[in-house]
Amino acid sequence: MTDTTSYVPPKVWTHDAPSGGKFASINAPTAGAREEQALPVGKHPLQLYSLATPNGVKVSIMLEELLALGHSGAEYDAWLIKIGDGDQFGSGFVDINPNSKIPALADHSVGGEPLRVFESGSILVYLAEKFGTFLPTELRARTETLNWLFWQMGSAPFVGGGFGHFYTYAPEKYEYPINRYAMETKRQLDVLDRQLAERRFIAGDDYTIADMAIWPWYGLLAMGELYQAGEFLSVQDYQHVQRWAAEIAKRPAVIRGRKVNRTWGDESEQAPERHSAADLD
């Protein structure tokens, strides 16, 4: 469908009606808490409040990778934040992340008030530095890893908020925005494909937080699991991304991390909450 309606923006925008689409009932132009709602706290040092979206699973994958390496201090409780119900606007969650987006982490091991960490990229860097792994210390390797981590943070909104929204969630299909964001999504896949043509992982020979950040978006997209858009985007053409995505998908910690705070799909792949390793077995 082509949108032929001519829209003339008003001089001053006002929020007169829901914008439509899947999340219209919770979207608003204001921040802050909408209700008093304390967050639960478990027994482990790290408390994760999340949902198994691409942004959410970055952190649960990282935590499972740390545990797989024997870092017992990475034990965590994962609590479900149902963003469709507006849990992210409860006062307890807003105290941890004033931007009301998952994931959010509270570290109770630091002494005094729990340390809040929000934004998925910040959480990955925090955990990598806390446990001394998955982020190189050598200057060039560290910088390259962070280059790609921040590439993901800046690029994925075009895939999710742009392509994903208009292709999957918008109340109607409009040709212009779908074409615009499909082109950008394919350009980004080509960026990754060229990078991976000469490297096993995103930043080089070693698996890092750059891979953990990028795979839940672009790996799953390449595997046809994101927005059911594999055929539409001809994802099979990005052979190096395909190779990389398939290798990471087989990692035991990735398999486990994807289950955390998941409430859809096959029941064996769901763990709405995680309080011990047994919750994922």
What is the average pLDDT across 211-236?
98
Question: Based on the domain organization, do 62 and 97 belong to the same domain?
Answer: yes
Q: Are 105 and 117 spatial neighbours (Cβ–Cβ below 8 Å)?
A: yes
User: Does residue 205 register a pLDDT over 70?
Assistant: yes
The predicted pLDDT at position 1 comes to 46
pLDDT digits 0-9 by tens, 240-261: 999 999 999 999 999 999 999 9
Question: Based on the domain organization, do 82 and 50 belong to the same domain?
Answer: yes
Where b means 16+ CB within 10 Å and e means fewer, 136-154 reads beeeebeebbbebbebbbe
Range of the domain at 151: 139-250
The phi, psi pair for 109, rounded to 5°, reads: -95, 0
- Report, in angstroms and rounded to the nearest whole number, the Rg of the chain calculated over CA atoms: 19
Beta bridge partners of 50: 80
What is the average pLDDT across 219-243?
97
User: Does residue 4 register a pLDDT over 80?
Assistant: no
Q: What is the pTM of this model?
A: 0.95
**Into how many domains does the chain fold?**
2
Residue 91 belongs to some domain of the structure: yes
The predicted pLDDT at position 19 comes to 66
CATH classification of the domain holding 148: 1.20.1050.10
Question: Based on the domain organization, do 60 and 195 belong to the same domain?
Answer: no
What is the average pLDDT across 68-93?
97
User: Does residue 76 register a pLDDT over 90?
Assistant: yes
What is the average pLDDT across 36-58?
98
